Amino acid sequence: MNMKYDVIICGAGPSGMAAAISARRNQAKVLLLESSGLLGGSTVLSLVSPWMTFHNDGKQIIKGIGEEIVSRLKNRGESFGHIADPIGFTDSITPIDIEGVKQLFFDYVSEEGIDLLLHAFVCEVRKDKNTIKGVRVATKSGFLDIDADVVVDATGDGDVCHLMGCETVFGRTEDHQAQPMTMLFSVDGVDTDQLRDFLKANADDCVIAKDYDFQYLAVSGFFKKVEEAKANGDFDLIRDRVLMFQDIRAHQVGINMTRVTGRSGINVSDLTKAEIAGRKQIQKAFQFFKKYIPGFQNSYILRTPVQIGIRETRHVIGEYVLTAEDILSQKEFEDSICLSGFPIDIHSPNGAELKFFDQKADKGYEIPLRILIPKNSENLIVTGRCVSATHEACASLRVTPSVMALGEAAGVLAALAAQKKTSPRQVDYREVQSVLRAQGQLIKKADIKKRF
């Protein structure tokens, strides 16, 4: 295989995929490295669905490659497209078929001419002072040394940045505690009519949107059932509610009920213990549903994840650190490269609580290019949940549509830097913005038009 590329993307989650597609469409020779055997990261490995949110205050704020992906899934019958959030927590949700995402991402690699290595784990970097020159990859074939003009860290954990010696912060600044891990699972054979009737009868025990029509099933609540099960000794999970969403097939639901606290997603011993704990919790959660929630009596577990879902590990310190205050004040950035509108949603690192910030209906905010550029590094870009943001800000921008928008911008920046034979920090942000707009992305709040 080729050992020299314009751009290497490390990690093929939604952000890394968007980065690879974007860089390739801007004439870069791209290698995509993925440590697993699948493309799609947390979506396919950890069953993260539905995606949320492409909208804010009734308007679409994320388009570009992310919207293109949703459109293709919808045309294949593998997504409903965007629908109003039944829970009312955010503007929209986008139910997707995880098997469809797997195949679509492989199709993209073939169609775009992206070189791909699966089962390839970046274990070292080659550098000259602060400049990354390439990566060493551990594979079944042994070690491979591959060079690139620009490297994009889309690992989700800032692994490449860490190997480069870039400054990072784990979790919260004050105590380095991170949001808990979760092992989602899917259940089939659900009597959705019975479940819908129960939800209607107990709507006052759930968090629901004002205009929810009970057609697409989503539940955040049944608090009384959880308390009843706890009183009977049938529920010891660190959760206060039922949280589930209907899959795109009528009798299937995805369940988000497990919570593994006190473990680090970048410590192999902790990860091993978390995987074991998560699977035990799935069994407990499923038994709770079978016993206490109408409609689940004849159901069965359809799918469990390849690996536990991780919300937060390292935050790479970049040229700018996005904060909660930036989000809440809707600060405008001259170098904005995309928008996000997901609320600041913090799952307590050590309890069952969900912490929400008091935000107005318009939650949309701009994200600056500088959070993609690690400090004291050259030819290195970071994208995904580990970008330069605080614990609180990350709790908003870590979601799939947002990180796809970040990845699209990272891909443009990487391609331009490679073409110009310069460091990403030397690329004019206005040129990045121009390319992103040409690709259909919305990058400033002024770009938004009524769509949803």
Closest C-alpha to 230, from 219, 220, 245, 241? 241
Q: Is 389 helix (H, G, I), strand (E, B) or coil?
A: strand
The per-residue pLDDT for 363 is 85
Q: What is the pLDDT of residues 112-162, one digit of tens each?
A: 999 999 999 999 999 999 999 999 999 999 999 999 999 999 999 999 999
The per-residue pLDDT for 345 is 87
Closest C-alpha to 87, from 200, 208, 255? 208
Band of pLDDT at residue 450, cut at 50, 70 and 90? low
Q: Is 80 helix (H, G, I), strand (E, B) or coil?
A: coil
Q: How far apart are CA 366 and CA 333, in angstroms?
A: 7
Q: What is the pLDDT of residues 71-113, one digit of tens each?
A: 999 999 999 999 999 999 999 999 999 999 999 999 999 999 9
Task: Report pTM.
Answer: 0.96
Whether residue 452 has pLDDT greater than 60: no
**Over pLDDT 70: what percentage of the chain?**
97
Q: How many CB atoms lie within 10 A of CB 358?
A: 7
Phi-psi map region of 31: left, alpha, beta (phi>0 left; psi -120 to 50 alpha): beta
**Beta partners for residue 143, in sequence order:** 138
Tokens of 169: 């912060």
Mean pLDDT of the chain: 95
